């Protein structure tokens, strides 16, 4: 089974946590860093468990989430 890579644009993300709320695996949470706008952008834990459903990217109001298939 192919894996997926989820990336967050830390300077665009405003930490609304919609992506975390819609992740069916519960892999997304605010990061420990603060961006230049004063927000704590999203980050992913256990990257290898991502199923590539794209729910996080679809609900992001700022387009700060990208999902790539490993090796593609």
- pLDDT band (50, 70, 90) for residue 2: low
The model carries a pTM of 0.87
pLDDT in tens, 25-68: 999 999 999 999 999 999 999 999 999 999 999 999 999 999 99
Count how many domains the chain has. Answer: 1
Report pLDDT for 72.
65
CATH code of the domain containing 28: 3.30.70.20
Per-residue confidence band for 3, with pLDDT thresholds at 50, 70 and 90: very high
The residue segments making up the domain with residue 56 are: 4-69
CA 1/CA 72 separation, integer angstroms = 13
- CA gap 8, 17 in Å, rounded: 12
């Amino acid at each position: 089974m192919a894996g997926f890579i989820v990336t967050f644009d830390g300077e665009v993300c405003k930490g609304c946590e919609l992506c975390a709320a819609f992740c069916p695996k519960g892999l997304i949470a605010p990061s420990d860093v603060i961006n230049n706008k004063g927000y704590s952008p999203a980050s992913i834990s256990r990257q290898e468990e991502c199923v590539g459903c794209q729910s996080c990217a679809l609900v992001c109001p700022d387009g700060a989430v990208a999902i790539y298939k490993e090796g593609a």
